[in-house]
Chain A
Amino acid sequence: METILVLLHIDESGNLPRIAFEALGAACELRHGGNANFAIGIIGGDIESAAGKIGGCGATSFFGVSHPALEVSRYGTDLAALGALVEKVAPTLIVAPSTSRFARVLPGLAVRIGGQIDTHITSIDPGAEGDAVFAERWYYRQRMKAKFTRDARPWILVVDGGAFEPWKGETGSVALQMVSPWAEGGPGDNVTRTQVSGIETGESGTQTIRPDADLLFVAGAGWAKKQADGQTHVPKAEKLILGFLEGAKASLGSSKSLVDQSSEGQAVLTCLSHLNQVGQTGTTPRHQKGLATCCHGEEPHVVGWRFVQERRAVNLDANCGWARGKADVVYVADAFEVVEKLNDLLGV
C-alpha cells in the first residue's frame, strides 16, 4: 500500500494558493477509495488556519513546519522544512503543487531524500489497487505527451495548475503535529545566506498578467507594425490593449516576436515584458478562453495557447498559422478597429 504525502505551503497572505487544492484533488485520485495512508504536510509562518481549510480532506494525519523563517520563499529553509516532513511521514508518493516556491526546491528535495521527481504532471492514473501508478506530462514544450511510471520510491509528483479538479470539502479543526527541522535557535547561517527583500511588480509597471482571469488576450507583432496608412500606431495600440484588458478583465499574453522588439530597437508596447510571452520559450497559461490578435507564426508560438479551451483570433490573414486548425473562429479583420469597437461595447 502506498503512503501518500501532500506537501503544501501558504502564500504571502497566509492562505493556501488555489493550486494547492488542485494538488489535493490529484492526491485524492491516488487514494484508491481511501485505502492508502494519506498525510498532509504544510510549511509556512502561521499555518494553523490554512490546515483547517482542508480539515475534511480525509487525511489520516496533518503535519506542519511553522517558523518565521518560512514566511518567505527561500531554497535553504524550505528544503530543510520539507525534508523534515518527509522524514516524519516516510511516504512512497509525494504530491505537490507547481508553485514557483516548490518548483525551485522540490528537485533538491528529491536528491536529498534519494527519490525521483516528475514535474508538470497533467494527469494521474492510479490503476487498480496494487497496480502501477501512471502519470502524464508534456515534453518538448507541449508538443508531445507521454504516459509513464516509476518503480522507485519515494516518487514526487508535482502537478500543474488547471489540470486537476480542486478538492472541495468541509473545513474543520485538525490536530496539527508540528515538526521541527532545526535545533533550538532556528535555522542556521548555512540556510539563511539568502535574505528575501520582497515582491516587486514586473518591469512594465502595469499588472497585466492575471492567472485567474477567464480570458487570455494574446497580442502579436502586428500591433507594432505599419498599418494601412504606412505608419505605426504603437501608443494607440497600447491604449486599446490596456483598455480591453480592463474592460474584459483579461490577462495579457504576447508572442515572442512582439516582446523581442524591445531589444531590437523598434517601437514597443511598454505594457509588455518577457513575462507576458507565451509559447515555446514563454508560458503556456491555462485560461478558459483565448483571443489572439495580430499574431502570426506556427507551432512554436501556438503552443502558448495549447491549454486554452475556447479560442478565437482576429487577423488580416485568414490562413494564419495561429488560427487555422487551432482556433474555433478566425475573424478576418483589422484588430485595431475590432478592439476599439469591443472596448465601446465593454464600457471602456
Chain B
Amino acid sequence: MTPFHIVVCGSLVPDPLQTLEPTLGPEGPGLKNEMMLPSVLDPWAGHALYEAASLATKHPESRVWLVSLGPKARLQQLMMSIAQKAKFELVAIDSSASGFIDAQSVARTLATAIDEIDGLDKNRLLLFGGCASASRDAGVTVQMVGELLGLTDQFLAVDELEARDDGSLRVLERIEGGKYLASTVRGAPAVVAWATGKLPEPPNNPQVGMQNMRTILPALQKAKAAIPNRNSIHYQEVAIPQQKRETRVVKDMSVDEIAREIADWIRG
C-alpha cells in the first residue's frame, strides 16, 4: 500500500456554546474578549484530522501533519485537548485566528508553511481540511491552498474517501438535495475538504498524547509569526441581528386542536 503524506489544515474557533459579540476596532472587526474565549478545534477540521489519522493507520509509513494558524498561546491550549485524539506532527503559525481575516491571506500563509515542511513528498500529498470553518465560514481556504500548491484534483464537502489497492481514491462529495457525487482520482496528490466524514470523535489516548507532545512543544516554540493582510477587505458594519420573536406559548390546547392548527398552517 502507498503511504500518504497527509497535511491537515485546521485551527481553533470559539466554543460554539459561547455567546459571541462583535467589536469594530482600528484593525477591523473582531470578537469582544476574543483572547479570553474558550476555544475548540474547528469541528470540520476535527473531522478531517480524525479521517487523516484513520487513513494513516491503514497505510503504514504514512505521516500526518496538522498545520494550524492561531495565536501561539491559544494553540498551546488547544493542543492539550486534541493531542490525545490522533497522532500528528504540528506545524504552528503564530497569527490571528479571527474569522474576519481574509481567506486569501490565510491561504497564502498556509501554502507557504506547507511548502516548507521538511520531508513532505508532494507526490504523496493529500491536503485535508474542513469544507468550511465555524469562524469565517467562507468554505474557500482549503481550495485556495490547493490551487496555490498546484493541486488540480479537488473535492469539497467529502463524507467518504476510500483508498484502493491500485492507489486510486474513491471520493463521495455532498451535493444538492442530500445526494453524493461519486468520483475516482488516480491517486495522490489531491485536496479533500471534509464535511463530517464517517468517524466519531476518537477517545483520548494518553500514549498518543505523549508521543505528540514531543513534537508539539518544539513546533510551538519555533512557530513563525505571520501578519495577516487586513487591507484587502473593508468592513463597514458587523452586527448581531435582532431576531427575537414574540413566541406564543400554547399550553392548554388538546392534541386534536394542535394538529388541526398546524395542518391549517402547513396548508397555508
Give me the interface of A with B, judged by CB distance under 8 Å: 17, 73-76, 79, 99-101, 103-108, 110-112, 116-120, 134, 138-152, 190-191, 193-202, 207-211, 214-215, 248, 260, 263-264, 273-277, 280-281, 289, 291, 298-300, 306, 310-312, 314, 318, 323-334, 337-338, 341-342, 344-346
Contact = CB atoms under 8 A, between A and B. Distances in A.
A100 B175 contact: yes
A277 B43 CA distance: 13
> Is the interface on chain B under 10, 10 to 19, 20 to 34, or 35 or more residues?
35 or more
Contacts of B159: 274-275
Interface in B239-268: 239-241, 243-251, 253, 255-256, 258-263, 265-266, 268
A281 B134 contact: yes
Given A194-B186, A342-B262, 6 more contacts: A117-B103, A194-B153, A264-B200, A311-B245, A327-B247, A331-B261
Contacts, number: 269
A117 B141 CA distance: 11
B209 interface: no
A211 B153 contact: no
Nearest to A77: B152
B183 A74 contact: yes
A318 B144 contact: no
Interface in B83-115: 99-100, 102-104, 107
Contact of A199 (B148, B180, B191): B180
Q: Which of B176, B232, B233, B261 has the most CB of A within 10 A?
A: B176
Contacts of A327: 245, 247
Contacts of B250: 329-332
Contacts of B247: 323-330
A159 B114 CA distance: 31
Contact of B260 (A145, A149, A210, A345): A345
Nearest to A76: B152
B8 interface: no
Interface in B37-53: 43-44
Interface of B: 13-14, 16-17, 19-20, 22, 29, 31, 43-44, 99-100, 102-104, 107, 134-141, 143-144, 146-148, 152-157, 159, 172-186, 191, 195-196, 199-200, 232-241, 243-251, 253, 255-256, 258-263, 265-266, 268
Nearest to B46: A281
B143 A104 contact: yes
B20 A144 contact: yes
A111 B249 contact: no
B244 A325 contact: yes
Contacts of B253: 331, 333
Contacts of B248: 328-330
Contacts of B157: 100, 103
Contacts of A100: 156-157, 173-176, 181
A108 B154 contact: yes
Given A100-B174, A276-B178, A143 B147 contact: no
A103 B156 contact: yes
Given A144-B20, A146-B238, A330-B248, A193 B152 contact: yes
Contact of B258 (A280, A306, A331): A331
Given A148-B233, A318-B251, A141 B258 contact: no
B22 A144 contact: yes
B255 A139 contact: no
14 contacts: A103-B139, A105-B154, A111-B148, A139-B238, A145-B240, A147-B236, A197-B182, A198-B181, A200-B172, A311-B245, A314-B258, A318-B251, A324-B247, A331-B262
A107 B184 contact: no
A112 to B, nearest CB: 6
B147 A111 contact: yes
A315 to B, nearest CB: 10
Contacts of A325: 244-245, 247
A144 B262 contact: no
Contacts of B236: 134, 147-149
Q: Name the 6 nearest CB pairs between A and B, nearest first.
A: A209-B178, A341-B259, A107-B140, A263-B200, A107-B143, A108-B147
Given A144-B240, A196-B181, A331-B250, A248 B266 contact: yes
Given A73-B181, A141-B137, A149-B236, A274 B195 contact: yes
Contacts of B200: 260, 263-264
A273 B146 CA distance: 29
A76 to B, nearest CB: 5
Nearest to B197: A274
A196 B152 CA distance: 15
